[in-house]
Amino acid sequence: CRVRHYKFNVVVKNTTRLCQTKPIVTVNGGFPGPTVYAREGDNVLVKVVNHVKYNLSIHWHGIRQVRTGWADGPAYITQCPIQTGQTYTYNFTITGQRGTLLWHAHILWLRATVHGAIVILPKRGVPYPFPKPHKEVVVILAEWWNSDVEAVINTAMKSGAAPNVSDAHTINGHPGPLSNCSSQGGGGFKLEVESGKTYLLRIINAALNEELFFGVAGHPLTVVEVDATYNKPFTTTTVLIAPGQTTNVLLKADKSGGRYIAAASPFMDAPIAVDNATATALLHYTDTPSSSSVSTTFVSLPPLNATPVASKFMDSLRSLKKPPSSSLPRHSRVDHSLFITVGLGIFPCPTCTANNGSRVLAAMNNISFVMPTFNLLQAHYFNISGVFTDDFPAKPPTPFNYTQNPTPQNTSIVLSNGTRLYRLPFNSSVQVVLQDTGFISPENHPVHLHGFNFFVVGRGIGNFDPKKDPAKFNLVDPVERNTVGLPSGGWTAFRFIADNPGVWFMHCHLEIHTTWGLKMAFVVDNGKGPNQSLLPPPPDLPKC
Ligand code: C2O
């Protein structure tokens, strides 16, 4: 095992896309930012220096951070932000994980441009459970905003209206060869392949607000890993990937030559408008002349709201190992069972101009989470009272027909707000059923849990039935991941063991929903044994 040192200078950089140049916040000037490479077992040290006007923090999405919650990164959850001119070194060890993950800013909407890949190779000498690819390529899907994203969300929060949407999707930072203005700001990402060789694409969705479909013309993709866990390989023409998720696929360059379009387009329509743009990239066989005499093959992706395609993709995901690991709680041992409604709601806002003195917010179990002004992990570690309460309810206050759309007016869903956490004893086994609600509108929510991988034991459309549905749970080979797409108007169930002491955020990874309050956190107590307690905070931990 090695120590890997990285330096992240967070700087403003003028960047040109869609025919216009604007300053964006970047790491080391790149959009996307640098890839962090490591091997399983390595100690990673990333020194982050903040040279911009915003306070910020960086999250290592999917890294388990065993006992090192101080390095997890969500602002005001595990640390106070790094202030302008200040430095913080994230120090963590990669335990029991290999594959693709992502890092991103975890404050405001800075993630729009402050993100990049984490590539964790297996321990030296340990092969992949699939044939060794000829080359590995990181493919980051994201968005481009013509306007300043912080201004977009600030304006929306003041008025109570839904924010604007992005202006383009991007593949490795570019809207691509088929976008307007492709000649200004680069023609797009080009993947050079040799005929007969196999490539591993490490696909990441770093977009703020859009779940995406991805595909490559003429080249089916074999999915081998999601969220840095191996799955039973299956082949598909379309990959579904939500913000925060990662998907490794094998692509066999089995054509004799030519040019093929790769594309990403949105999956879900939402009550807020959707950025309908398709991002493109080029798969180019090396021996093919780049002259116009060679035709280009186009890819057709599923249309907006193609729920059957999405469901088929999610149902195809199974853990490679069976049972995936001893950390999958069986029926006989669920200590904490939570039923959490996930959805939008209306909240009074006398100063809001958009909705007659009210605004849209989002909530879990009707509680719209209020960000504290001091970080929760420190409050927990030093027993500082008044920062949070640990009374997050295990079920919603009033049961109703969750997925009836529209929800009848007489079902008044009164949102409350608060910084309420759910406390878990060390090593307890936990089951969470997430239930989408039709209040305002049913919607798909990619829910991310920090600090753990969980097993997705079930999903379905409609209301979760506590009598019938658990009998159908997959406890044999459920997929293991850190971010799960909750189906629109449906439910999903996952399980995990609370074997990582600390404070762990759980939230919708659609940034607008997080901003609206679709978030909560677990506080996991220390165990009694050796190596079962949260390590002390590092000396350079930022101060509030
Ligand atoms: Cu990738 Cu809390 O986020």
- Looking at residue 180, its pLDDT comes to 74
Q: What is the phi-psi region of residue 271: left when phi exceeds 0, alpha when psi lies from -120 to 50, beta otherwise?
A: alpha
Decide if 182 contacts 230 (C-beta within 8 A). Answer: no
Query: 1-126: CATH homologous superfamily?
Result: Cupredoxins -  blue copper proteins (2.60.40.420)
Q: Is the CB of 104 under 6 A from ligand 1?
A: yes
**SS3 for 373?**
coil
Task: Quick: pLDDT tens for 138-152.
Answer: 999 999 999 999 999
Q: Categorize the per-residue pLDDT at 248 as very low, low, confident or very high, splitting at 50, 70 and 90.
A: very high
- Looking at residue 290, its pLDDT comes to 66
| Higher pLDDT pick, 343 / 220 | 220
Task: Quick: pLDDT tens for 12-22.
Answer: 999 999 989 99
Q: Strand 445-449's sheet: what is its strand order?
A: 421-424, 519-524, 502-508, 445-449, 483-486
Q: Is the CB of 448 under 6 A from ligand 1?
A: yes
327 pLDDT higher than 70 = yes
Residue 484 alpha carbon to ligand 1 centre in Å: 12
Q: Is the CB of 74 under 6 A from ligand 1?
A: yes
Task: Quick: pLDDT tens for 175-209.
Answer: 998 887 766 555 799 999 999 999 999 999 999 99
411 pLDDT higher than 80 = no
Decide if 120 contacts 228 (C-beta within 8 A). Answer: yes
Q: Give phi and psi for 149, each to the nearest 5.
A: -60, -35
The closest-lying atom of ligand 1 relative to the alpha carbon of residue 62 is 1
Query: 331-524: CATH homologous superfamily?
Result: Cupredoxins -  blue copper proteins (2.60.40.420)
Residue 198 alpha carbon to ligand 1 centre in Å: 31
Residue 448 alpha carbon to ligand 1 centre in Å: 6
Kindly report the protein residue whose alpha carbon is nearest to atom 3 of ligand 1.
61
The closest-lying atom of ligand 1 relative to the alpha carbon of residue 244 is 1
Residue 69 alpha carbon to ligand 1 centre in Å: 13
Same fold, 1-126 and 331-524: yes
- Looking at residue 213, its pLDDT comes to 97
Residue 397 alpha carbon to ligand 1 centre in Å: 27
| Higher pLDDT pick, 4 / 346 | 4
Residue 234 alpha carbon to ligand 1 centre in Å: 27
Q: Categorize the per-residue pLDDT at 271 as very low, low, confident or very high, splitting at 50, 70 and 90.
A: low
- Looking at residue 291, its pLDDT comes to 67
Q: Is the CB of 59 under 6 A from ligand 1?
A: yes
Residue 111 alpha carbon to ligand 1 centre in Å: 9
Q: Is the CB of 244 under 6 A from ligand 1?
A: yes
Helix (H) or strand (E) holding 512: helix 511-515
Q: Is the CB of 255 under 6 A from ligand 1?
A: no
- Looking at residue 360, its pLDDT comes to 86
Q: Strands 421-424 and 519-524, how do they pair?
A: parallel
Residue 268 alpha carbon to ligand 1 centre in Å: 20
Q: Is the CB of 90 under 6 A from ligand 1?
A: no
Residue 432 alpha carbon to ligand 1 centre in Å: 18
Look up the CATH architecture of domain 130-318. Sandwich (2.60)
Mean residue pLDDT of the chain comes to 93
Helix (H) or strand (E) holding 378: helix 376-381
Q: Give phi and psi for 512, each to the nearest 5.
A: -65, -35
The whole-model pTM stands at: 0.97
Q: Is the CB of 61 under 6 A from ligand 1?
A: yes
Q: Categorize the per-residue pLDDT at 410 as very low, low, confident or very high, splitting at 50, 70 and 90.
A: very low
Residue 208 alpha carbon to ligand 1 centre in Å: 11
Q: Categorize the per-residue pLDDT at 322 as very low, low, confident or very high, splitting at 50, 70 and 90.
A: confident
ipTM given for this complex? 0.99
156 pLDDT higher than 80 = yes
The tokens of 94 are what? 């990669």
Task: Quick: pLDDT tens for 41-68.
Answer: 999 999 999 999 999 999 999 999 999 9
Which of 289-293, 414-418, 465-469 has the highest average model confidence (pLDDT)? Answer: 465-469
Cα 458 to Cα 478: distance, rounded to the nearest angstrom: 8
The region of weakest confidence among 400-404, 460-464, 480-484, 537-541 is: 400-404
CA-closest candidate to residue 258, choices 214, 184, 193, 186: 193
Q: For residue 34, with 0-12 CB atoms within 10 Å meaning exposed, 13-18 middle and 19 or more buried, which class applies? A: middle
- Looking at residue 302, its pLDDT comes to 96
Task: Quick: pLDDT tens for 454-494.
Answer: 999 999 999 999 999 999 999 999 999 999 999 999 999 99
Q: Is the CB of 64 under 6 A from ligand 1?
A: no
Domain spans of the chain, in order of start: 1-126, 130-318, 331-524
Residue 103 alpha carbon to ligand 1 centre in Å: 9
What does the pLDDT average to over 368-377? 96
Q: Strand 20-27's sheet: what is its strand order?
A: 20-27, 3-17, 43-50, 87-93
Q: Is the CB of 380 under 6 A from ligand 1?
A: no
Instruction: Characterize 482-519 residue by residue with b for buried, 16 or more Cβ atoms within 10 angstroms of its Cβ, and e for exposed.
Output: bbbbbbbbbbbbbbbbbbbbbbbbbbbbbbbbbbbbbb
85 pLDDT higher than 80 = yes
The closest-lying atom of ligand 1 relative to the alpha carbon of residue 77 is 2
What does the pLDDT average to over 339-360? 88
The closest-lying atom of ligand 1 relative to the alpha carbon of residue 111 is 1
